[in-house]
Chains A and B, each alone.
Chain A
Amino acid sequence: MDHDDTLRTGAGMAAVALELQGLTRRHPGVTALDGVDLTLMRGEVHALAGENGAGKSSLIKILCGADRPDAGRMRLFGEAYAPQTPLAAMRAGIRVVHQELHMLGELSVAENLLFERLPRTRLGLLDRAAMDRRARELLALVGLDELSPATRVGTLGMAQQQLLEIAKALSNQRGGAARIVIMDEPTATLTPRETDRLLAIIRKLRDDGVTVVFVSHHLQELFEVCDRVTVLRNGRHVATQPMAGTSTGELVRLMVGRELVERPARVAPVLDAGRPAALRVEGLRHAGRRDTSSTAPTIDFSLHYGEIVGLAGLVGSGRTETLRAIFGADRAAAGRILRDEQPVRIASPRDALAHGICLVTENRKEEGLVLDLPIRANLSLARLGAVSRGGLLSAEAENAAARRMAGELQIRLASIAQPVRQLSGGNQQKVVLGKWLLRDPKVLLLDEPTRGVDVGAKAEIHALLERMAAQGMAVLVVSSDLRELIGLCDRMLVMSRGVLVGELPRAQFDEEAILAMAYREYLVRPQQAA
């Protein structure tokens, strides 16, 4: 292979591994990558930092052949690089360890590790001896020497499976050794001890001349292991600099940016102090938390009529789980919900709806819409009682309700009889909102209400929420777009790694401060539980 020569001549001096020039990727309504330039050196650990939606994922997708850029070019060890498929990227020596696990639980460790190219005997049968030997080599690479290659993967914990993913990425699958390894949040499921082991693996890879791209919410880890850091913001390259000499504060500042967020004048609601809180959450602990011991911190907050409260935090910090627990979509491990200061029992969405609480879920296609049913049937789904009598649907009543909502929300449609599948993302989201607004909710919970929605529809949804709040509705919004929350909300709650870490009134909104709070629990490496 000719790259071997490149590697050999490059040894000892700083050789360029991968060079990106003007990489651009546009999606409808949003530019995910905007002319990104980036140079990765051979044998360096390079941190990729940025807020949610800064373009990290889009960049990784293009590097590993899962997506193609609209403009720009890439050179891998001096040769033009434009992978059309993930397989082509793999062949070129670029490997990705994804955040999600892709192990086949019913198969053995060895089979999973070597799945891409199972060793065979001359008769075409599985060569068990070779499989065992090669699996042991790979396991040793990630410090799992003690694990038997015959173990069924389904019996292993998340952390061990994550290490197996890394071992698999390092195997010589599909020709050529790994030259660039991209790790996308590999430590999310690891305990501190395993994280240390992973960082040691990364250092060893670097010493072997492999380039590692490291993405992690845990800034502390970036500082521990990375040589250089590149910061992306809104799809643009902001800075690339040595990790040494960069402070945490500077890094957060680079990620957030200095520019002022335009804040449309929002009239603060006049909250009647004497009026009971629309919603009060006390001692909530959702079942998904890793630490469910009775001493773990709980989630406590209140929500008043007429205000829009933001729930900020990184993806995976427990925002979604909190909303789902309040709505009864998932059972909470502990806690009380009070409506108008009266405790209510919410064991299912049905209970929540009976108490006037609605939830716009984050995945509209999976959880919000019945895609093959007409728009009108989706709008009436949560309030069928209002468009029927004695169990018989009234087409007249349903059409009237659907038309009213379509008009009020400015849903762009050809006909209310059209399957909702045919609408654009923004209009689909309006249908989800319309479904709940027909119930006239008192408390509206929204999870990423404008994700995948074009700019115009986004503004309309914001205006709608402000209108609803002005009419007295209590609104709680989760969003990964901090600017959206800053523009929209009266008050901000911040979560970090499952903990509610702070609360800010609108006057104190500051992107940097909020982000620092959101990262707070990730900066401390938790001690291993005894």
Chain B
Amino acid sequence: MQAMNLTSSSTPAAAASMGDRAALVLREAGIGLALLVLLGVFALLSPIFLTAGNITNIFTQISINVILAVGMTFVILIGGIDLSVGSVMAFCAVVAGTVLKLDGLDPALAIALALAASIAVGAVCGLVNGAVSAWWAIPSFIVTLGMLNIARGAALQWTQARSIYEFPDAFNNFGSATLLGVPAIFLVALALVLAGWFVLNRTVFGRLVYAIGNNEEAVRLAGHSVRFYKIAAFVICGAAVGVGAVIYMTRLTIASPISGIGFELNAIAAVIIGGTSLSGGRGSIIGTLLGACIIGVLANGLILIGMSDFLRQMVTGFVIILAVVLDVLRARLAQRAAR
């Protein structure tokens, strides 16, 4: 290897040779370490925390959030945000519920159609979010705030505010099924994590998602359609919501137009705790998975040690702020080291 250029001789060789990937792995390792510490603390404080039953429980509880957070990661990486996720999920659910209840359909076919309908509704909502914000350069915060109301209203209107239930047994059973002790719905979430990881790390699409979050103008001048990728990120997020809606129905065995309230905030929290920068361009799906695990473990563990609902909510809030503060401090340290 050649020496660094003379003019940048102040850069320590260690920092220079540390690849981007290494930095990323380090960040993920930090979040993983935090998760391990949490696991250790709760294992000491509660005898039932580490039992197989409780672990399965945690997996079940975090599955929906993992699914939503995978989609949210794409949106946040391109520098956007999606506040409509919870409402869109309710709208997806009631549409899927209606399809499931269609007369004269074979249950397997009905389930497949319901899933397709749910994903389609989510993707269309994402398309609207993405197209409006990318085309007229409107902050996605505002557009998706509008969609939050539109989708919730649509879900209530569609059902006249009633829940839909009595779905096929095969459908309802999936929500509680396990494979080798692992909940089936968590396996679905894990599959989405893998797919998201693959897209972000191995495809041209993923490369451009990172690049746009980092420097939109450079990407535009390199001849790429920035709008297309921005819109696509919202469509992916919407499609993930569609999957999440159906998975959530299998757990609750109903489709409610008032479900999913505040889910977007949990998903955003998982992404942020997972080390993804709100300004875009930096972060990873693995980090998001770990972030969702931290939120889930905290919620579960704090109940087991007997903390009240109200205090639990406060602790979760503190953790979100702490995660971002630590990330900022880490970035400052890295910057100082590079100077």
Contact = CB atoms under 8 A, between A and B. Distances in A.
Interface of A: 28-29, 327, 329, 348-350, 352-354, 359, 361, 366-374, 377, 381-382, 384-385, 388, 391-393, 412-415, 417-419, 421-427, 435, 454, 456-457
A424 B16 contact: no
* Closest 3 pairs (CB-CB, A-B): A417-B19, A424-B8, A382-B222
Contacts of B215: 366-367, 369-371
A492 B6 CA distance: 33
B203 A391 contact: yes
Contacts of B204: 384-385, 388, 391-393
Contact of A381 (B3, B4, B20, B219): B219
Interface stretch (B49-57, B153-161, B205-213): B205-213
B339 to A, nearest CB: 11
B7 interface: yes
B223 A422 contact: no
- A-side interface mostly: mixed
A369 B218 contact: yes
A373 B225 contact: no
A344 to B, nearest CB: 15
Contacts of A361: 221
Given A350-B225, A417-B19, A393 B203 contact: yes
Contacts of A456: 6
23 contacts: A349-B220, A352-B223, A366-B215, A367-B218, A368-B221, A370-B211, A370-B215, A370-B219, A372-B20, A373-B20, A391-B203, A392-B202, A393-B204, A412-B3, A414-B16, A414-B17, A415-B1, A418-B18, A418-B20, A422-B15, A423-B5, A424-B8, A457-B5
A432 B59 CA distance: 46
Contacts of B211: 370, 373, 377, 381
A421 B17 CA distance: 12
B202 A418 contact: no
Contacts of B166: none
B322 to A, nearest CB: 24
Most central of B202, B223, B225 by chain A CB within 10 Å? B223
B11 interface: yes
Contacts of B4: 412-414, 424
B281 interface: yes
B332 interface: no
A129 to B, nearest CB: 39
B21 interface: yes
Given A361-B221, A372-B214, A417 B205 contact: no
Nearest to A454: B7
Contacts of A327: 221
B191 interface: no
A419 B211 CA distance: 12
Nearest to A354: B223
Interface string B11-36: 10101111111010000000000000
A359 to B, nearest CB: 7
Contacts of A370: 210-211, 214-215, 218-219, 281
Contacts of A366: 215, 217-218
B330 interface: no
A384 B207 contact: yes
A56 to B, nearest CB: 24
B275 to A, nearest CB: 13
Interface of B: 1-8, 11, 13, 15-21, 23, 202-205, 207-208, 210-211, 214-215, 217-225, 281-282, 338
Contacts of A352: 223
Contacts of B7: 28-29, 424-426, 454
B224 A350 contact: yes
B223 A382 contact: yes
A454 B5 contact: yes
A329 B221 contact: yes
A397 to B, nearest CB: 12
A393 B207 contact: yes
Contacts of A454: 5-7
Contacts, number: 122
Nearest to B277: A372
B297 to A, nearest CB: 30
Contacts of A418: 16-20
Contacts of A349: 220-223
Given A368-B218, A370-B218, A414-B13, A350 B223 contact: yes
A359 B5 CA distance: 25
B214 A371 contact: yes
Given A393-B203, A423-B5, A381 B21 contact: no
Contacts of B219: 370, 381
Contacts of B8: 422-424, 427
Contacts of A354: 223
A417 B17 CA distance: 9
Given A353-B223, A422-B16, A425-B7, A391 B205 contact: yes
A33 B280 CA distance: 40
Most central of B18, B214, B215 by chain A CB within 10 Å? B215
A415 B207 CA distance: 19
A366 B281 CA distance: 15
B232 to A, nearest CB: 12
Contacts of A415: 1, 17, 19
Nearest to A363: B217
Contacts of B205: 391
A367 B221 contact: yes
Given A349-B223, A353-B223, A372-B282, A427 B214 contact: no
A454 B5 CA distance: 10
A392 to B, nearest CB: 6
Contact of B338 (A367, A388, A412, A422): A422
A337 B224 CA distance: 21
A398 to B, nearest CB: 9
A373 B209 CA distance: 11
A426 B20 contact: no
Given A28-B7, A370-B215, A418-B16, A381 B222 contact: yes
B43 to A, nearest CB: 37
A381 B218 contact: yes
B250 to A, nearest CB: 32
A404 to B, nearest CB: 15
B216 to A, nearest CB: 10
Nearest to A374: B20
Contacts of A425: 7
A366 B215 CA distance: 7
A349 B225 CA distance: 10
B276 to A, nearest CB: 13
Most central of B20, B214, B221 by chain A CB within 10 Å? B221
A350 B221 CA distance: 8
Given A350-B223, A414-B1, A419-B20, 14 more contacts: A348-B223, A366-B217, A367-B218, A369-B215, A374-B21, A388-B203, A391-B205, A393-B203, A415-B19, A418-B16, A421-B338, A423-B5, A426-B7, A435-B222
B228 to A, nearest CB: 11
B112 to A, nearest CB: 26
Contacts of B13: 414
Nearest to B15: A422
Contacts of A385: 204
Nearest to A406: B2
Given A418-B19, A427-B5, A384 B208 contact: yes
